[in-house]
Structure 1
Amino acid sequence: MWISQAPALALLLIHWVFGQKPPVSETGSVICKLQGTSAQPALSKQGDFLIGGIFAFHYDFILEQNYTRHPLPLQCTGRFLRFARAMEFAIQEINNRLDILPNVTLGYQIYDSCGTLPMAVKVAFQFANGLDPGFIIDPSCQAVAKVAAVIGDSNSTPSIGIARLLGLFRVPQVSHFATCACLSDKRQYPAFFRTIPSDHYQAAALAQLVKHFGWTWIGAIRSDSDYGNNGMASFLKAAQKEGICVEYSVAFSSSNPHSKVERVAEIIRSSTSKTIVAFTNAIDIRILMEELTKKTTPLFQWIGCEAWLTDPEVLKFGELAGALGFGIERSIIPRFREFLLDLSAVQVTESPILQEFWEDTFNCRLNLSAVNVPYTDTSQLRISNMVYKAMYAIAHAIHGVVCKDNENQQPQCNKNTVVQPYQVLEQLKKVNFTTNGYPVGFDSNGDPVPTYELVNWQESEDGTLHFVTVGRYDASKPKDQQFSMKVPVSVCSVSCHPGTRKAAQKGRPVCCYDCLPCGEGEINSTDCISCPDESWPNSQRDECLPKLVEFLSLDEVLGIILAVCSIAGACMVAAVAVIFYRHRTSPIVRANNSELSFLLLFSLTLCFLCSLTFIGQPSDWSCMLRHTAFGITFVLCISCVLGKTIVVLTAFKATIPGNSIMKWFGPPQQRMTVVCFTSVQALICTLWLVLSPPFPIKNMSLYKERIILECNLGSAGAFWAVLGYIGLLAFLCFVLAFLARKLPDNFNEAKFITFSMLIFCAVWITFIPTYVSSPGKFTVAVEIFAILASSFGLMACIFVPKCFIIIFRPEQNTKKHLMGKVPSNKDYQMSI
């Protein structure tokens, strides 16, 4: 329902956008009135089902606008005709066949787009809304498209505009020459098909061609259009993967000021690259070559796209001799040349475009076979065959809608069937046939199987240039079989295998040589070339591949294990903190200085979490954070343990009558001790970050075939100062705890601290030689392991025994048990 209403809705929307009210009758119903001047078909024929055609008979237009009267119709300049005649020929051939649409006559309405977007969209509107005077006038605004499908346009930019419009009405469009890869997007262009391959494949083929000949330093020019910009973007992406460097990439258009074309020509003349990839249309390359020939220009190797490489009108530029590139496969259409030449005076008078073509091109000659122009040249039928295949695809789609096939019998077709464009659209997705030996079908994107011929411009004996097919590209094959060339072999020595180099044979011509192996890190089969710093030869030694980048990440098992251990340790510390907090009034928690215990638990949590900064790709912030955070949190941790050790010693010194030592090491002094010890480390880290901070580097000296991403210490002295300070505090804590180890058994805090410091010192003494000798990412893993091992040691020795008593031996969690062998006095009770 909505499809039939779409033209009316579109018309009302246009009126609303421009602030106009649609005309209405006295009864209030909407009356349609065509705005402006309708385009008239250049070629037309009535039939049971009409096919629309949009072709660039001309390649430019002139718009006269003086703003004092109604704008005049667009006037075209230039001329081109053979593509449209190929559509006429295909329709005539189909109408005479008995196996496709028997007893059904196809008609056509073919319009001139001038190769421009405004004209193309204007014609597309006439096709889509069904209100073209050539079809019907429906005063109710309810007309629907009268064409079953549309063929065209020749260029990508007009085709994009047509596809956007026709897609709204589900009118199928089959283009014969629009190659922009963007048109494969079915979300934007749901009704678009084409018989010519997408530029996505041509760009990849051009990159492989350039790589094949070893041209790694090139220039790039393109038409400033959807075709040129999208095509060149695809090529540059493919070229980058092939290791090809681009000196310049510039865009221009025939519509640009002449000064722009002059600048492009000057860039080409002054460039150092000798190979140019030109992703342009035929008009733009002709304009550029005309400018280049005005001054002395070095010879270049031109690499072309199908839009201009097989255009006969570009052959006149001898500077393009030797050009290489890809073109659509040549084809043979039987009886097509005879059809082109069979142009009678009666046919000419019936069509203004044929009349113009006859008068200007043939000078009113009657014998057209004696005229040698592109129109009559059928030796290079490439794009014409794309039109031919497009017409046959549409015919098969209509056949699927109106005909029923019977085995061994002629199909039964009902020419009175009302064919909706969306029905033809669905059938087009299913077509799969062969015509004149050429397969026709579309993939899910509406694209055909991508095949190209490799074309070379070669000079004949009389000095004229002509097209020679020297190879083929078939993207449907495996990558190593897609590209093939036909090159005659005549050599003294066979080509050197990849990974070897040529070595001249003494006393023999330069064509005779031996093949010697390349050195490590070198490639090529002529002169061994070293790969760039961040690349390494593949196993065949015929190309440089990016080196593998290595760092400790969460995507590998080792990184996952260390991260899990880190998080698990932090969770265990949190669990201990919860247990201590819930039993904060119990004797065992109070006897071990609860304030320092909670601070120690907090610092242990930071110790576990700081190990996570060592995992992942190094960055400026992670490099600065990982060592400084580790240094400060560990000093905070050791300071708390040292404070607890001093508390144990002073607590028992305080049992001596008259000794007031606890007054000098009460809670304020304990806090100050922790702050002072930690501040020293913070000062060292601050100076480190200010004077010579750590930074990420790519270590390419450790492994030749790999790049190790790691953190440079910036200042090795600062790093060892941080570790040395931690070691000093740990050693001091160990000595004090060792001295206090023989205190009464029930108060065994000193023993646990001694064990924890013993583990801590053992881990970090072992760490130093292991850290220095570990390669690559394992250096980071060793440091993380040392952090986790020492953190787990502190937690296990100091807190796990107390948690065991709190949970499983509550009878021992009494003040009496803790003081069983300790003389009681007031000072000791105060310390508790």
Structure 2
Amino acid sequence: MEMQQFLVCVCQFFVDGVNSLSTILKNYQHVLSLVFAVKEINENHNILPNISLGFHVRDSHHDAQITYQNTLSLVFHQKRTFLNYHCDMQKSPVAVIGGLDSETSLHIATILGLYKIPQIMLCLYAPAESDVTQRTFLYRMVPDEIHQYTGLVELLLHFQWKWVGIMAMGDDEGEKFLQTLTHMLSQKGICTAFTVRMLLQGSILGVLNFYDTFLSIAKLLTKPDVKVCVLNADAHVILDVQMVLNLVVMDVKRPVNKVWVMTAHWDFFMVPFYRMKGVDVFHGTLSLAVHSSEIPGFQNFLHAQNPNSSEDGFIMVFWEQAFGCSFPYTGMAEDTERRCTGEEKMESIPGAFFEMSMTSHSYSIYNAVYAVAHALHAMYSSKNKHGAMRGRGHLESSTPHQLYPFLEKISFNNTAGDKVSFDEKGELIAEFDIINWVTFPNQSLSKVKVGRMDPRSTLYRQLSINEESITWHSHFNKTIPIALCNPPCLPGYIKQKKEEAPFCCYTCDECPVGNISNETDMYDCFECSEDQYPNKERNNCLPKKLNFLSYHEPLGIFLGVLALLFSLTTALVFGIFMKNGSTPIVKANNRDLTYCLLISLLLCFLCPLLFIGQPYGMTCQLRQTAFGIVFSVAMSSLLAKTLTVVLAFKSTQPGSKMKKWLGKKSTTFAVLCCSCIQASLCMVWLCTDPPFQDLDLNALPEEIVVECNEGSAKMFYFILGYVGLLALINFIVAFFARKLPDTFNEARFITFSMLVFCSVWVSFVPTYLSTKGKYTVAVEIFSILASSAGILTCIFFPKCYIIVLRPELNTKEQLKRRGKN
């Protein structure tokens, strides 16, 4: 069986200045996932039959020179590098799986691009296009980086976190992260409380005041008003964060109660720090992660690892670090007293150091190996179809750049059932998982998938989260933290920007009178519709109640009962006068006019019943017209009575011709003439612009006034003015006739009644104009009742007194004697 070597470069990450072996624990799973994938492929006869894959593992040491050196040695297979000299073509690499950061991937691509060797990168942020000469041969086993930015923004928006800190490395990649994310956050209304650019590891020792820099960052992280911090969590940043948290413990001595929101780089892999300080500060962290699934058989593969294996150059060092023991033939024998037995169980290692379930990074490496294998299978299958030479010549005739078109079109389902394919930019088409990191006192941890972010979702929401599955930091009492610059403006208030402060910081001002805001953090208040009014809190609109003088309220009941009492009193007086119609006091001054006046007064007292209750079209037309006509009849009757007194006196003078004007016809004509003028005015009013039911939505703030719109205000005042004119004429005539020496002179009583009448209606006008709603109607009713009661009292009560209580005075002799006196 022919052997074709397939070279894969996996770059390990570690802390500069510390032996690289001290950080192997977490990254060791990446190597095992690579080995596991190659093992599965070599055992699978459906992929690359008769061909076995091999690999090399190199460490970049996060150093450009070492990365270039290792890349060249991968190409030329020499410990010393000779440019443009290929030694042992059979072992030439067909593809490289690059590092976990863009810097390492860029260094590798600089050399591999010259030889058109495809590189499958694992970095979340792609190198700048201007830095890559042969971008055609670059593929990324992660989604487009813009999707990660979108996921971070959507995650913050989901929890309404609008006051956050951002931390990134102080290099080009970190600066790009800060600028891009800050811009996207501001577009969505999220402010940054602070942005921190961490020191580059290579420059820390050269910075004299790096302690002060880290101390200032530590103070920022302990600020209680910033509860959420977004971290571009690559290995460089994590190292600096560890130093900062050390200062928090030693110098600041305040808790770091934060919700950490991490990018998909995040993983617990810095072993020395966590062994000293624990991982509780990151309890409840939320992070993005490239979607991963559990690979069948992977955990069994981990259990089968043997520290005595000679094929694995990493496992012995891993074993000593993981279990704190040493093998007698290694360099750590003198540093530890405990000896490794090889029987230790990998599942007992805390999750912060090593996880038994496949991590997101390892899952990407696993898929990358399979992607290359499927591309090779497709390439060889294509050559076989075209009759290409087989065997060793066939393998040697394959060059790495021939793999490119097959990688571009690759699409397959892995053993976990997930589809793996690249888009037109050579980036993985995949979702992001939302991970909640739960830590425990024994330094173990649990990763809980609480949601996902599908960047290609056609639905409105790309992010879905199960909030009930999230474990928050104990400081937040198991509730979703609130991350705002200041408390939100409750309904009833609006936001007012603070001077020289970010737009997320504002004050809350109460809405003006008459306006409301019914949501939190509104910028403007608004008025309620005309049929609604604001409540006291100014956060809701309530429906306005109808305002009219009702029979169901005390004021309406009182005025209605009062009108009926006066009506009954008038009817009683009318009955008394009818019963005693032949007596001198009733006959005096024209009995028919007296009856007419009493009937008109009775109707005047009944008029207010038209004003009580909800007005409608017919009642609106009857109200003022009935009032105007009935009062005109009453005033006409009084005027006729007064003129009768004057004419009676004038007729007694020698040679007077006034006797012909005395009699029923003249008085009846006077009453009819005056009343018909008012009736004519009312007819004109009803025919031209009659009263109608109207709703006044603005007169009262909390009620809709149901009223009778007078239609033509001029006609209303004409009718009211005509009644006033008759009353004024009555008053003037009666005033001058009050002392006429006549036996049956009623002028003095009419004078007093008109004085009361005019006083009531003169005060009515300003009161009527100054009141609103049902009280306007009540004022008019009161004026009708008061003026009518004044006429009834002044004119008829003295006569009733004589008729009922002093009948002996109701004789001609007594009346003549009183008249002479």
If the length of structure 1 is used for normalisation, what is the TM-score? 0.48
Q: Which has the larger radius of gyration?
A: 2
Relative contact order higher in (CA < 8 Å, ≥ 6 apart)? 2
If the length of structure 2 is used for normalisation, what is the TM-score? 0.49
